[in-house]
Amino acid sequence: MTAPTIGVLALQGDVREHLATLTRLGVKTLPVRRQAELDTCDGLVLPGGESTTMWRLARTFELLEPLRARVEDKMPVFGTCAGMVLLAERLLDGAEGQETIGGLDITVRRNAFGRQTESFETDLTVAGVKDTVRAVFIRAPWVEATGPDVEVLASVAGHPVAVRHGHLLATSFHPEVNGEDRLHRLFLDTCW
């Protein structure tokens, strides 16, 4: 069986870190900036970064509708931090007119854990992952509500911070910044 090609949305954010993690895990990787690149992907990572900037650039690069179509067609997608915001069906505290790609039946509160100075790290128990995960939260969102079919994998202070629904996985935190690859492995299980 050949390894899948996993794209990383390369408009802004932690693109390099995700590409490096996925490459270490033995999959073919591809930075995605155009629809032609998206069309070659078996799975996609939406990185952490700034969700309003990513949304605006996706609109500018005419990627928003193709991204929505691929999610609707059940392409596996893993969103971290801003990527979680982009996957959410409903958004609280977004910029005026901010759109999402959608597909994940959650309501997300943008920057819920506070400003940059309130960023933190903690050890989390994540369902489906052996041992605790060191989670890095940087101006992170949290999930306010989930649809009935969304599985909560981890929570902090009563708020879901890792969720999964079928082919979609999302975390409020950044596993890519500290060398953590077990969530990427969990994601890749849906791509083979």
- Which active-site residues does the annotation give? 81, 174, 176
Residue 8 CA from chain centroid, whole number? 10
* Position 59, amino acid: R
Residues in CB range of 192: below 8 A, 6 or more apart: 1, 4
Residues in CB range of 167: below 8 A, 6 or more apart: 74, 75, 76, 77, 190
Please give the DSSP secondary-structure letter assigned to residue 85: H
